[in-house]
């Protein structure tokens, strides 16, 4: 073989190797980096029930003849600064305020809303918008507690609530199967109980619970239910619960934010606050 032919063969081999290296580099450049920050672009507009309303819609007009229930509401940064004196004057007896989402977002209005409700004589609590797609349940419970989601034995603070609903950023079940998602919720509630010495409420809808947890009955005896359903009645409850504690019945009304009924008189709300 001549030196010329051998030289051409060597050049071809190097060109082939170079093409392979360039292809690998192009693939790496096109792939999202493993360290990419989680998406919190919707966190300011995510609040309890936004995705439930989107996926399930309104099931009819809420009843205006409900008796034996206590009126309350829930708010988030979406409402901005709340006029709490006006809310109290309109009949609000309790309120839940969004504190956190995942492990990367804190409601910028939390102080005004949470402390303002207390100053107006409204029994208040905080809730966490779950993001099982970005970090573990225990980690999110600790983040929630560290950013306003704890509980105090002052008789006017409700235990924290876990808002677990349709994922606004992608797959409605956060890319998890029912067993893994149930385990995530258990990690959150177990950690909250261990740190705060109170059981967290679970906020959800029956349809989402069936679809994404397989309708597990695991939490019915440990965590009070805050159910979302926008219609004339509460409807079917998720497995494990024989009653609900709070019903989020409408997206708007006489109070800022979403409208809720506590399932019983004010004394029941006060009992939950006192533990």
Compute the Cα dihedral for 111, 77, 102, 40 and give only its sign.
negative
Give the per-residue pLDDT at 30. Answer: 47
93 CA to centre of own chain: 23
Q: Which of helix, strand or coil describes residue 163? A: strand
What residue spans define the domains of the chain? 1-35, 50-274
Give the per-residue pLDDT at 103. Answer: 98
Cα–Cα nearest to 246, from 188, 209, 203, 205 = 203
Pick the CATH number of 50-274 from 1.10.3470.10, 3.40.720.10, 3.30.450.40, 3.20.20.80: 3.20.20.80
194 CA to centre of own chain: 20
Distance separating alpha carbons of residues 83 and 179, to the nearest angstrom: 42
Give the number of C-alpha atoms closer than 13 A to the C-alpha of residue 3, restricted to the C-beta side: 0
Give the per-residue pLDDT at 6. Answer: 52
Active site positions, annotated: 74, 163, 165
The tens place of each residue's pLDDT in the chain, 275 residues long, gives 444 545 556 666 656 665 555 554 554 444 445 567 899 999 999 999 999 999 999 887 776 667 899 999 999 999 999 999 999 999 999 999 999 999 999 999 999 999 999 999 999 999 999 999 999 999 999 999 999 999 999 999 999 999 999 999 999 999 999 999 999 999 999 999 999 999 999 999 999 999 999 999 999 999 999 999 999 999 999 999 999 999 999 999 999 999 999 999 999 999 999 98
Distance separating alpha carbons of residues 205 and 55, to the nearest angstrom: 11
Give the per-residue pLDDT at 28. Answer: 45
Give the per-residue pLDDT at 7. Answer: 54
Distance separating alpha carbons of residues 134 and 105, to the nearest angstrom: 12
């Amino acid at each position: 073989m001549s030196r010329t032919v051998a030289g051409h063969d060597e050049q071809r081999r190097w060109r082939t190797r170079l093409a392979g290296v360039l292809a690998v580099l192009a693939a790496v450049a096109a792939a999202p980096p493993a360290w990419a920050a989680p998406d919190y672009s919707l966190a300011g507009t995510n609040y309890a029930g936004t995705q439930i309303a989107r996926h399930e819609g309104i099931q009819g007009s809420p009843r205006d003849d409900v008796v034996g229930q206590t009126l309350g509401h829930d708010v988030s940064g979406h409402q901005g600064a709340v006029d709490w004196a006006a809310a109290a004057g309109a009949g609000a007896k309790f309120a839940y305020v969004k504190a956190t989402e995942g492990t990367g977002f804190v409601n910028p209005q939390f102080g005004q809303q949470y402390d303002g409700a207390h100053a107006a004589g409204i029994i208040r609590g905080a809730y966490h918008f779950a993001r099982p797609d970005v970090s573990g349940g225990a980690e999110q419970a600790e983040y929630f507690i560290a950013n306003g989601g704890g509980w105090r034995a002052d008789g006017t603070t409700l235990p924290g609530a876990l808002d677990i609903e349709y994922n606004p950023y992608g797959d409605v079940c956060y890319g998890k199967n029912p067993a893994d998602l149930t385990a995530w919720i258990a990690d959150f509630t177990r950690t909250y109980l261990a740190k705060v010495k109170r059981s967290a409420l679970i906020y959800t809808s029956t349809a989402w619970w069936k679809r994404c947890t397989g309708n597990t009955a695991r939490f019915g005896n440990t965590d009070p239910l805050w159910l979302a359903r926008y219609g004339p009645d509460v409807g079917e409850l998720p497995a494990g619960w024989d009653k609900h504690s709070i019903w989020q019945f409408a997206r708007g009304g006489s109070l800022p934010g979403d409208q809720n009924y506590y399932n019983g008189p004010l004394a029941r709300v006060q009992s939950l606050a006192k533990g």
